[in-house]
Chains A and B, each alone.
Chain A
Amino acid sequence: DTAVSQTPKYLVTQMGNDKSIKCEQNLGHDTMYWYKQDSKKFLKIMFSYNNKELIINETVPNRFSPKSPDKAHLNLHINSLELGDSAVYFCASSQDSNLYEQYFGPGTRLTVT
Chain B
Amino acid sequence: SQELEQSPQSLIVQEGKNLTINCTSSKTLYGLYWYKQKYGEGLIFLMMLQKGGEEKSHEKITAKLDEKKQQSSLHITASQPSHAGIYLCGAEVSTYKYIFGTGTRLKVLA
Q: Which residues in A have some Cβ–Cβ distance to B below 8 Å?
A: 41-45, 48, 55-56, 90, 92, 97-107
Contacts and interface: CB of A to CB of B under 8 A. Distances in A.
Contacts of A56: 96, 98
A41 B103 contact: yes
On chain B, which size bracket covers the interface?
10 to 19
Given A45-B98, A48-B96, A55-B96, A106 B90 contact: no
A42 to B, nearest CB: 7
B88 interface: yes
Main secondary structure of the interface of B (DSSP, over half): strand
Contacts of B42: 90, 104-107
**Which residue among B31, B43, B103 has the maximum number of chain A CB atoms within 10 Å of its CB?**
B43
B43 A99 contact: no
Contact of B100 (A44, A101, A103): A44
B59 interface: no
Contacts of B109: none
Contact of A101 (B41, B45, B90, B102): B45
B92 interface: yes
Given A42-B102, A43-B103, A99-B90, 7 more contacts: A97-B96, A98-B92, A100-B45, A101-B45, A102-B43, A105-B42, A107-B42
Contacts of A103: 45
B106 interface: no
Given A42-B102, A55-B96, A56-B96, A99 B48 contact: yes
